[in-house]
Amino acid sequence: MDKKRILAEKIKLYLQMFPAVAVIGPRQCGKSTLVQAVAPDWKYYDLERPDDYQLISSDPLGFFSRQRDKVIIDEAQQFPELFQVLRGVIDQDRKAVGRFILTGSSSPEIVKGLSESLAGRIATIELWPFKMVEFCDQPLPAIYDLLINRSTTLTQLTELRTSISVSQMYEHWLLGGYPEPRIKGKENSAFHGIWMDEYFADYIRRDIQRLFPRINTHNFRLFIQSLSFCSGKIINQSSLARALEITSVTTKEYLDILHNTFIWRDLRSFEKNSLKKVQKMPKGFFRDQGILHHLLKLDDLDRLMVHPEAGASFESFVIEEVIRGFQCTLQAGIEFDFYRTRDKSEIDLIVDGPFGIIPIE
């Protein structure tokens, strides 16, 4: 079952502007499928395949002397030296655009490589599991472009309608958007839970143990499980540390790892003073509610609806959908925060961009 990804058009546009485009995101969210669909005639190399890794890593300069453009390199973080080499290749013909596509999963190496070695030479796009409209075969709702357009009228906004049913919305909230379990799970209901178990085992083994070898993986697993009861709430790192009998430093490290590996999203407090934004406690949630519900052992909508965490989960689901919607547009410079007063009045999401400030409740 092929599903159209909204970001495909954005990748094509960026390839007309930049020498290279990087598509980053969590494992199994559909990066490889997407980039090969965008550029089906390009040469494709996967650095998690031993033969491809050996071919490129043994002589990267020789490789790029033969493959100067129309090249896809999947899981680029496996060979960190690639970014510096690619910089030199791009600089030999700086005006040429649309030459390379890189993909990367959870890794500090790819973030560092993109920001340091390839700054100004590459556009980065974050891909996520299916957005609800993607799974339901619908286009991106017009509301995002309307909100970005300062001349939009209230009448235009109130006339918007959706063709997605309530039952479709609840199903996507319950199961999340990872492509394989959503598609194959329709044929075998047990597949979704089995896939999630394997996904977490793979995440710990291939990402956490490889990238952060000194981390106690047992404690990290317990931390993730405990965090399932904090999703969608203000995160008091000191209280969380005391409850788990770990240090506040370790708590912050674990949260940073989960955020940087696309499992968890931090929302900072909306402050015009950037120092205050950093100092105030963030709000956080699992980016995919299917992962959260698996951790909470919820595989049935009826049980989910009466669960104590249902309200926070649904709020997080809506916020993540809205954030992804804005990220599908070509508007740059958008920040996402939340706002809470001293008397605990709260605005769930603040969208702050060149178009102004949009509070969403």
For 224-278, the pLDDT digits (tens) are 999 999 999 998 889 899 988 999 999 999 999 999 899 999 999 887 665 555 5
∠144-140-193 over CA atoms, to 5°?
Answer: 115
Cα–Cα distance for residue pair 359/357, rounded to 1 Å: 7
Q: Which residue has the tokens 């906004």?
A: 157
Mean pLDDT value of segment 56-65 = 96
CB 176 within 8 A of CB 288: yes
- Section 199-228 average pLDDT: 92
pLDDT of residue 276: 58
**pLDDT per residue as tens digits for the range 110-149:** 777 788 889 899 999 999 999 999 999 999 999 898 888 8
pLDDT, tens only, 68-80: 999 999 999 899 8
In whole angstroms, how far apart are CA 360 and each of 144, 170, 264, 271, 339?
12, 20, 20, 16, 10
The b/e string for 192-214 (b: 16+ C-beta within 10 A; e otherwise) is beebbeebbeebbeebbeebbee
Backbone φ, ψ for residue 62 (5° rounding): -65, -40
Q: What are phi and psi of 66, to 5 degrees?
A: -95, -30
**In this model, does residue 26 exceed pLDDT 90?**
yes
Longest dimension (CA), the chain: 64
> Which pLDDT belongs to residue 332?
92
Q: Roughly how many angstroms between the first and final C-alpha of the chain, as a whole number?
A: 35
Average pLDDT, the chain: 92
Confidence at residue 267, expressed as pLDDT on a 0 to 100 scale: 93
Distance of CA 57 to the CA centre of its chain: 27
Question: 262-291: b or e for each residue (b if 16 or more CB lie within 10 Å)?
Answer: bbbbebbbbeeeeeeeeeeebbbbbbbbbb
Report residue 117 as tokens: 């070695």
* Domains of the chain with bracketed CATH: 7-126 (3.40.50.300), 132-143+164-330 (no CATH)
Would you mind telling me the total number of residues written for the chain in this entry?
361
